[in-house]
Amino acid sequence: MPAEKDEAKEPRARPRLIVLIASFLVSHSTLFSVVCCIAGLIALLLLPVLAKSTYISENALMPGSANPVFSGQDVSEASRLVKDITETQKMGKMTGIEIQRLIIQRMADVGAEVYHHKFHSQSNQFHPFRFFSCDSNSAVTESNSNTSYGLNTVGIIRAPRGDGKEAIVLVTPYNSEYVKLNDALSLGLGFSIFSHLGRVSWLAKDILWLAADSRYGEYSSVSAWLKDYHNPVFFSSENVDANVTHDKDFLNMQNKNMLNGRNVDVFKRAGTMAAALVFKVGEVMERDPRDILTIYAEASNGQMPNLDLINVVHYLAVHRQGFRVNIGKLASLVNSAWLNLVGQILEWLGKLAKNLNPKWNFGISSADYAEGAATVASSMYHQALGVPTGSHGAFRDYQVDAITFSFSPRFYLNNENMQSSFILRGGRLIEGVIRSVNNLLEKFHQSFFLYMMTAPNKFVSVGVYMIGFALLALPLPVVAASLFLNHKATGFTGTEEAKIAFGSWKWLYAAKTVLMIDLWAMFASLMPYFISQIPNITSTESTFLWVALSVTILAVLYVILGSPPYSHSGNVEWQTLKAVMIASVTIGLGLMSIINFATAQIGALLIVPMCLVVRPLKKHIQGALILRALSLVCNLVMVVIGFPPAALLLMKGFSKGFEGVGIGAVWEVAEFLWAWNSATYLYVFLVHLPCWVLCIHILLHP
Amino acid sequence: MASTVAARAPATIHTSFLLLLVILLSCDLFDRIIASSGEAREEEFTEELLLKPLPDKKILAHFHFQSTVPPSDSIGHHHHLFPKAIAQLVKKFHIRELELSFTQGRWNYESWGGSDPMSNINAKPPGVEMWAVFDLPVNDIDESWKGLTHALSGIFCSSLNFLESSTAYSAPHWGLRTNSSSMRYGALPREAVCTENLTPWLKLLPCRDKAGLASLLDRPSIYKGYYHSQRLQLFSSAASGIILDQTLTVVLQPNVQRNGMPNSYDRFLQPNWSIMSMFKKKVTGQCALARASSIFIELEDGLATELEKLGAGESWNNLAFDLSVAPDRVIKEHNSVEGKSSSILYEFKVVKYSKYEPLDVGIKWKLPLLWSCPEAPFHARRFLMGSGNERGSIAISLQPTQSCDQFLSDSHKCTVRAVIFQVAPWYVKVYYHTLQIFIDGRSVPVADVVEKISVSPSEDKVSPGSLQMMLRFPCDMNSAALAMDFDKGFLHIDEYPPDANQGFDIPSAVVSFPDFYSSRSYLEDNCLKQSPLLLKLQKRTALQSYTEVLLVPLTTPDFSMPYNVITFTCTVLALYFGSLLNALRRRIGEEEQLLKSKDSKRVGLIPRLLSKLKGRTLESHQSSSGSSASSKPRPKWLFKVIFVALIAVLWHYYSNID
List of long-range contacts for A357-361, beta carbons under 8 Å, 24+ apart: A357/B652, A357/B656, A358/B656
Give CA–CA dist A159/A169, Å, rounded. Answer: 13
User: Phi then psi for A40, rounded to 5 degrees?
Assistant: -60, -45
Which residues in chain A touch residue B383, judged by CB atoms under 8 angstroms apart? 269
Please give the pLDDT value at position B412: 59
Going by pLDDT thresholds of 50, 70 and 90, the confidence category of residue B10 is: very low
> In terms of DSSP H, where are the helices of A295-446?
307-315, 331-334, 337-356, 366-385, 392-396, 416-439
Query: What's the CA angle centered on A115, arms A109 and A120, to 5 degrees?
Result: 145
Pairing assessment for the beta strands B428-439 and B442-444 based on DSSP bridges: antiparallel
Whether B628 shows a pLDDT value over 70: the answer reads no
- CB contacts under 8 A, A 59-118 vs B, are 109, 111, 113
Contact status, residue B68 vs residue B237, Cβ threshold 8 Å: no
CB contact under 8 A, A232 and B385: yes
Domain locations in chain A as residue ranges: 3-48+465-699, 59-122+141-329+389-456
Give CA–CA dist A472/B334, Å, rounded. Answer: 86
Instruction: Find which of A19, A61, A158, A234 to mutate to test the B interface (most B CBs within 10 Å of its CB).
Output: A234
Give CA–CA dist B68/B74, Å, rounded. Answer: 13
Instruction: Find which of B229, B551, B608, B617 to mutate to test the A interface (most A CBs within 10 Å of its CB).
Output: B551
Query: What's the CA angle centered on B324, arms B320 and B326, to 5 degrees?
Result: 95
Q: Strand order of the sheet with strand B321-323?
A: B273-274, B362-365, B321-323
Give CA–CA dist A477/A479, Å, rounded. Answer: 5
Nearest to B442 among A136, A235, A357 (CB): A235
Please give the pLDDT value at position A488: 64
Which residues in chain A touch residue B499, judged by CB atoms under 8 angstroms apart? 441-442
Give CA–CA dist A214/A220, Å, rounded. Answer: 8
Going by pLDDT thresholds of 50, 70 and 90, the confidence category of residue B37 is: very low
Give CA–CA dist A162/A109, Å, rounded. Answer: 21
Give CA–CA dist A538/A61, Å, rounded. Answer: 52
Q: Residue A695: name the closest of A586, A593, A581 by CA.
A: A581
Q: Is omega for the bond preceding A11 within 30 degrees of 0, making it cis?
A: yes
Nearest to A11 among B386, B479, B595 (CB): B595
Contact status, residue B538 vs residue B571, Cβ threshold 8 Å: no
Instruction: Find which of A161, A625, A626 to mutate to test the B interface (most B CBs within 10 Å of its CB).
Output: A161
Q: Which amino acid is at A232?
A: P
Q: Is domain A59-122+141-329+389-456 in CATH 3.20.20.220, yes or no? A: no
Report ipTM for this prediction: 0.86
Instruction: Give the 3-state secondary structure of B534-560.
Output: HHHHHCCEEEEEECCCEEECCCCCCCC
CB contact under 8 A, B653 and A201: no
Please give the pLDDT value at position B623: 43
Range with the lowest mean pLDDT among A669-673, B239-243, B411-415? B411-415
Nearest to A443 among B442, B503, B549 (CB): B503
Query: What's the distance, CA A388 to chain centroid?
Result: 6
Helix, strand or coil, per DSSP, at residue A145: coil
Specify the higher pLDDT residue, A189 or B593.
Answer: A189
Going by pLDDT thresholds of 50, 70 and 90, the confidence category of residue B634 is: low
User: Phi then psi for B168, rounded to 5 degrees?
Assistant: -105, -15
Q: Residue B332: name the closest of B118, B523, B519 by CA.
A: B523
Please give the pLDDT value at position A378: 92
Contact status, residue A465 vs residue A452, Cβ threshold 8 Å: yes
Residue B408 exposed, middle or buried by CB count within 10 Å (0-12, 13-18, 19+): middle
Q: Residue B514: name the closest of B407, B626, B656 by CA.
A: B407
Q: What is the CA radius of gyration of chain A?
A: 30
- Chain A nearest C-alpha distance from B463 (Å): 24
Show the domains of chain B with their CATH numbers.
381-535+544-552 (2.60.40.1170), 587-657 (no CATH)
Give CA–CA dist A370/A252, Å, rounded. Answer: 57
Give CA–CA dist A570/A287, Å, rounded. Answer: 66
Give CA–CA dist A310/A402, Å, rounded. Answer: 9
Instruction: Find which of B222, B268, B449, B501 to mutate to test the A interface (most A CBs within 10 Å of its CB).
Output: B501
Residue A289 exposed, middle or buried by CB count within 10 Å (0-12, 13-18, 19+): exposed
Please report, for residues A91, B156, B157, B348, the alpha-carbon distance to residue B195 in angstroms, rounded to integers and kept in the order given. Answer: 56, 10, 10, 28
Give CA–CA dist B110/B271, Å, rounded. Answer: 20
Name the average pLDDT for chain B: 83
Contact status, residue B159 vs residue B108, Cβ threshold 8 Å: no
Please give the pLDDT value at position A568: 44
- Chain B nearest C-alpha distance from A622 (Å): 10
Give CA–CA dist A132/A300, Å, rounded. Answer: 10
Please give the pLDDT value at position B637: 83
- CB contacts under 8 A, A 391-450 vs B, are 397-399, 441-443, 445
CB contact under 8 A, A163 and B549: yes
pLDDT tens by residue, B302-330 = 888 888 888 777 777 888 888 999 999 88
Q: Write down the number of H helices and E strands in chain B.
A: 19, 26
CB contact set of B226 (below 8 Å; sequence gap of 6+): A160, A161, B58, B105, B108, B251, B252, B253
Please give the pLDDT value at position B258: 55
The verdict on A14 touching B (C-beta cutoff 8 Å) is: yes
Q: Residue A380: name the closest of A51, A608, A36 by CA.
A: A51
Give CA–CA dist B195/B208, Å, rounded. Answer: 14
Contact status, residue A106 vs residue A153, Cβ threshold 8 Å: no
Sign of CA pseudo-dihedral A569, A571, A573, A575: negative
Which residues in chain B touch residue A272, judged by CB atoms under 8 angstroms apart? 384, 503, 551, 553
pLDDT tens by residue, B242-286 = 999 999 999 998 877 555 445 556 677 888 899 999 999 999 989
- Chain A nearest C-alpha distance from B559 (Å): 11
Helix, strand or coil, per DSSP, at residue A435: helix
Give CA–CA dist A693/A700, Å, rounded. Answer: 11
Specify the higher pLDDT residue, A359 or B577.
Answer: B577
> In terms of DSSP H, where are the helices of B260-391?
264-268, 275-279, 301-310
| pTM reported for the whole predicted model | 0.85
Query: What's the CA angle centered on B398, arms B505 and A160, to 5 degrees?
Result: 50
Query: CB count, 10 Å around CB of A252?
Result: 14
Give CA–CA dist A665/A176, Å, rounded. Answer: 31
Helix, strand or coil, per DSSP, at residue A622: coil
The residues of chain A scoring below 70 in pLDDT are 1-15, 92-96, 122-147, 235-262, 487-506, 562-572, 620-623, 660
Instruction: Give the 3-state secondary structure of B79-145.
Output: CCCCCHHHHHHHHHHCEEEEEEEEEECCCCCCCCCCCCHHHHHHCCCCEEEEEEEECCCHHHHHHHH
Give CA–CA dist B134/B136, Å, rounded. Answer: 5
Kindly provide the residue ranges of all beta strands, DSSP E only, lying in A604-689, ordered along the sequence. none
- Chain B nearest C-alpha distance from A628 (Å): 14
- Chain A nearest C-alpha distance from B227 (Å): 7
Q: Write down the number of H helices and E strands in chain A.
A: 27, 13
Please give the pLDDT value at position B5: 40
Query: CB count, 10 Å around CB of B627?
Result: 7
Which residues in chain A touch residue B610, judged by CB atoms under 8 angstroms apart? 20, 24
Please give the pLDDT value at position A180: 86
Residue A317 DSSP one-character state: I
- Chain B nearest C-alpha distance from A209 (Å): 19
CB contact under 8 A, A14 and B402: no
| Greatest extent of chain A over all pairs of C-alpha atoms, in Å | 103
Q: Which amino acid is at A567?
A: S
Give CA–CA dist A306/A301, Å, rounded. Answer: 15
User: Phi then psi for B362, rounded to 5 degrees?
Assistant: -160, 175
Give CA–CA dist A221/A212, Å, rounded. Answer: 6
